[in-house]
């Protein structure tokens, strides 16, 4: 009798389980977020001027030289970025992970700063440093050697300059993968090589390098993908140089007169390349591995550099100078001086740029309010949905819940500019008239940031033993009570770190939002881009410093959490 009553009580409690309703709502939401833009991209790419079915847009795409050339330039630029990122990151990762070079922890932390720096802001910083006429480096060069005006040492407005500027903020992706791979190489294998008479160089070439190579290739593919889909840096550096890459060309197709069908068609090759690169990267990382027979492997052995320790440290300082120290210094100098071209002096110092940005430039306050409102809203919505999807998919409490994980991951294969085109086409006409509102930007941010948030929370849930939840259910708690009392406290750190990750990603975003903002819905990243076109470098530097300060503050808070900083760094 007691057992029967307990069974009925358990059934009544299970009857209020909200999992089914949550599954249905999230399924519909993710389908709309992901599939609707892809549908309208397909529809417009196959539609003619009168709405008729046609392949004319694709034919134009492959026959018009002004459309083919940006594709060729983009591929060459992306390959150059991948190669240069590996050249920079691989030796630096080895020095940090496997040698006794001084200052390794500090160098790793400063490399992480490149994750926080928006690439478009880095491009502007290098514009300040290496513009042919007004660039600080070129002015110092002419002053030292008493050269006539317009003599240049470096010119950032070239394809080579663009490759360099993008590589400054993609090499940390390669660095992270390669450094982790170096740290996972078993010391036993290297010891065995040394016992058999192998020199350090031979061990590095025959043992260490083959185990690290897959990580380097995977990192190079990620760097290539980042470069290929980036809009901000090419728009800032390539357009003044007189050439387009594919992302800037797609953006130009929305200028007057707009050609949405051609823009949609141009988005598909970029989408296809992205999918292929992501597939190749996952295959390479998925096949990488080794097994140590006979027990637990030993830790990796540090290489003693001897007198070369400081040479390695010098190389690390050079890399950090080009990627962090010089760009940040250029932004600070520009923000606090009247003229970028003049040296630092008391007469040249000013707070006018700060006064202009915060009190005189009317668009600033609205842009900052939009940015932070969207940042908080997107971080909260994405974290909530990703947590629910990760829980349903990992615990398999509902049939078909695994499909939610795939839906949440699909946007990782959609470049920002392609998603921007799809959202513009989806929400600029009836029945969803959201263009010109903050809602369309919120949808863009939620879609873009969903894969990273889902992967982070899915990893956290996978590492959590489900027996704790099962024990709670056995003792009579409902699924809601179990989530509130058991799961939520354990996942608290991961949830907060995910929230911070999404917030930073949101306020740094430019590729998709450049097509979706209007005068009343601009955010800080778009304002910075607009000011760059007008040449107001002082105001840009102030806004850039504010953006960096907020990002670093969020990272600092995440690092204060137990394990939060490592989760945030790994996700980025």
Q: What is the DSSP string of 108-145?
A: HHHHHHHHHS-HHHHHHHHHHHH-TTT-HHHHHHHHHH
pLDDT at residue 74 in the model: 96
pLDDT at residue 546 in the model: 94
- The residue with greater pLDDT, 207 or 562, is 207
Structure tokens at 414: 């959609």
User: Considering only 25-34, 300-309, 473-482, 535-544, which range has the smallest mean pLDDT?
Assistant: 473-482
- Calpha distance 186→296 (Å, rounded): 9
Dihedral sign of CA atoms 154, 159, 160, 165 in order: positive
Mean pLDDT of the chain, nearest integer: 86
- Calpha distance 536→124 (Å, rounded): 11
Closest alpha carbon to 192 in 52, 293, 74, 54: 293
pLDDT band at 372 (very low <50, low <70, confident <90, very high): very high
pLDDT band at 157 (very low <50, low <70, confident <90, very high): very high
User: Considering only 60-69, 416-425, 470-479, which range has the smallest mean pLDDT?
Assistant: 470-479
pLDDT at residue 13 in the model: 47
- Calpha distance 93→167 (Å, rounded): 15
Dihedral sign of CA atoms 526, 532, 538, 544 in order: positive
Preceding omega of 431 cis (within 30 degrees of 0): yes
Query: Residue range 453-468: average pLDDT?
Result: 80
- Tokens 């999230």 belong to 26
> Taking every pair of C-alpha atoms in the chain, what is the biggest distance, in angstroms?
101
Dihedral sign of CA atoms 238, 241, 246, 251 in order: positive
The pLDDT > 90 percentage for the chain reads 54
Q: How many residues can be counted in the chain?
A: 572
Contact 125, 331 (CB under 8 A): yes
Please, what is the Cα angle at 366 between 364 and 372, to 5 degrees? Answer: 100
- Calpha distance 524→114 (Å, rounded): 19
Query: Residue range 392-409: average pLDDT?
Result: 81
- Calpha distance 494→462 (Å, rounded): 12
pLDDT at 128 over 80: yes
pLDDT at residue 570 in the model: 47
**Cα–Cα distances in Å, from 195 out to 291, 299, 302, 306?**
20, 17, 16, 21
Dihedral sign of CA atoms 201, 207, 210, 211 in order: negative
pLDDT at 40 over 50: yes
pLDDT at residue 428 in the model: 87
Structure tokens at 460: 């956290």
pLDDT at residue 479 in the model: 66
Structure tokens at 312: 């390695």
pLDDT at residue 9 in the model: 44
pLDDT at 47 over 70: yes
Query: Residue range 5-19: average pLDDT?
Result: 50
Preceding omega of 257 cis (within 30 degrees of 0): yes
pLDDT at residue 366 in the model: 93
Query: Residue range 252-277: average pLDDT?
Result: 92
- Calpha distance 303→94 (Å, rounded): 10
**Helices 104-116 + 309-320 axis angle, to 10:** 20
Q: 58-258+304-350 has which CATH code?
A: 1.10.3720.10
Contact 173, 85 (CB under 8 A): yes
pLDDT at residue 12 in the model: 45
Report DSSP state, residue 514: G
Taking phi over 0 as left and psi of -120 to 50 as alpha, with beta for the rest, 301 belongs to beta
Query: Residue range 258-263: average pLDDT?
Result: 92
In this prediction the pTM is 0.88
pLDDT tens across 203-253, in order?
A: 777 777 888 888 899 999 999 999 999 999 999 999 999 999 999 999 999
pLDDT at residue 271 in the model: 93
Most confident of 302-311, 455-464, 523-532: 523-532
* Residues in a beta bridge with 99: 303
3-state DSSP of 35-48? HHHHHHHHHHHCEC
Per-residue burial over 9-20, b if 16 or more Cβ lie within 10 Å, else e, is: eeeebeeeeebe
pLDDT band at 16 (very low <50, low <70, confident <90, very high): low
Q: Where are the alpha helices (DSSP H) in 396-486?
A: 402-409, 416-427, 438-462, 467-474, 479-482
- Calpha distance 259→239 (Å, rounded): 19
pLDDT band at 468 (very low <50, low <70, confident <90, very high): low
- Calpha distance 316→311 (Å, rounded): 9
pLDDT at residue 2 in the model: 42
- Calpha distance 240→262 (Å, rounded): 24
- The residue with greater pLDDT, 12 or 331, is 331
pLDDT at 305 over 60: yes
- Calpha distance 531→543 (Å, rounded): 10
pLDDT at 339 over 70: yes
209: exposed, middle or buried (Cβ count in 10 Å: 0-12, 13-18, 19+)? middle
490: exposed, middle or buried (Cβ count in 10 Å: 0-12, 13-18, 19+)? middle
Backbone torsions φ then ψ of 17, nearest 5 degrees: -65, 120
Residue 393 CB-half CA count within 13 A: 24
Query: Residue range 121-134: average pLDDT?
Result: 94
pLDDT at residue 416 in the model: 93
pLDDT at residue 329 in the model: 95
pLDDT at 559 over 70: yes
């Amino acid at each position: 009798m007691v057992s029967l009553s307990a069974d009925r009580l358990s059934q009544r409690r299970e009857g209020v389980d909200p999992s089914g309703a949550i599954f249905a709502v999230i399924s519909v939401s993710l389908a709309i977020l992901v599939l609707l833009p892809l549908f309208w991209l397909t529809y417009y790419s196959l539609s003619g001027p009168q709405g008729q079915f046609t392949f004319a847009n694709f034919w134009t795409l492959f026959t018009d030289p002004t459309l083919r050339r940006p594709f060729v330039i983009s591929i060459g630029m992306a390959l150059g970025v991948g190669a240069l990122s590996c050249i920079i990151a691989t030796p630096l990762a080895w020095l940090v992970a496997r040698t006794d070079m001084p200052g390794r922890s500090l160098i790793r932390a400063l490399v992480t700063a490149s994750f926080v720096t928006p690439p478009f802001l880095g491009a502007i910083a290098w514009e300040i440093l290496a513009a042919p006429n007004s660039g600080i480096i070129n002015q110092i060069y002419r002053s030292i050697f008493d050269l006539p005006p317009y003599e240049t040492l470096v010119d950032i407005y070239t394809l080579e300059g663009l490759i360099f500027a993008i590589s400054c903020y993609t090499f940390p992706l390669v660095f992270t993968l390669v450094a982790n791979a170096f740290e996972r190489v078993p010391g036993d294998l290297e010891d065995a090589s040394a016992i058999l008479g192998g020199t350090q160089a031979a061990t590095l070439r025959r043992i260490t390098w083959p185990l690290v190579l897959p990580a380097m290739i995977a990192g190079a593919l990620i760097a290539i993908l980042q470069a290929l889909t980036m809009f901000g840096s090419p728009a800032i550096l390539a357009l003044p140089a007189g050439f387009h890459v594919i992302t800037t060309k797609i953006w130009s197709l929305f200028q007057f007169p707009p050609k949405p069908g051609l823009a949609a068609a141009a988005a598909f090759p970029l989408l296809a390349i992205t999918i292929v690169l992501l597939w190749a990267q996952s295959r390479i990382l998925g096949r990488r591995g080794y097994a140590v027979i006979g027990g637990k492997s030993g830790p990796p052995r540090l290489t003693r550099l001897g007198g070369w320790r400081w040479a390695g440290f010098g190389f690390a300082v050079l890399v950090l100078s080009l990627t962090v120290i010089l760009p940040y210094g250029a932004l600070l100098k520009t923000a606090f001086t009247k003229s970028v071209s003049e040296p630092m002096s008391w007469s040249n110092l000013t707070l006018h740029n700060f006064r202009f940005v915060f009190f005189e430039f009317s668009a600033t306050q609205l842009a900052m309010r939009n940015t932070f409102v969207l940042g908080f809203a997107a971080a909260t919505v994405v974290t909530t949905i990703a947590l629910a999807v990760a829980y349903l998919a990992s615990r398999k409490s509902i049939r078909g819940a695994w499909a939610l994980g795939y839906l949440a991951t699909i946007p990782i294969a959609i470049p920002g500019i392609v998603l921007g085109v799809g959202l513009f086409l989806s929400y600029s006409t009836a029945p969803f008239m959201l263009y010109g509102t903050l809602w369309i930007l919120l949808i863009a941010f939620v879609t873009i940031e969903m894969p990273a948030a889902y992967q982070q929370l899915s990893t956290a849930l996978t590492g959590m033993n489900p027996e704790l939840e099962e024990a709670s259910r056995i003792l009579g708690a409902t699924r809601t009570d179990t989530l509130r009392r058991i799961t939520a406290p354990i996942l608290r750190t991961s949830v907060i770190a995910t929230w911070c990750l999404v917030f930073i990603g949101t306020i740094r975003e430019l590729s998709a939002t450049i097509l979706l903002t209007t005068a009343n819905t601009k955010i800080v990243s778009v304002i910075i881009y607009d000011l760059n076109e007008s040449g107001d470098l002082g105001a840009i530097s102030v806004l850039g410093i504010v953006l960096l300060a907020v990002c670093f503050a969020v990272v600092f808070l995440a690092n204060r959490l137990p394990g939060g900083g490592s989760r945030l760094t790994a996700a980025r």
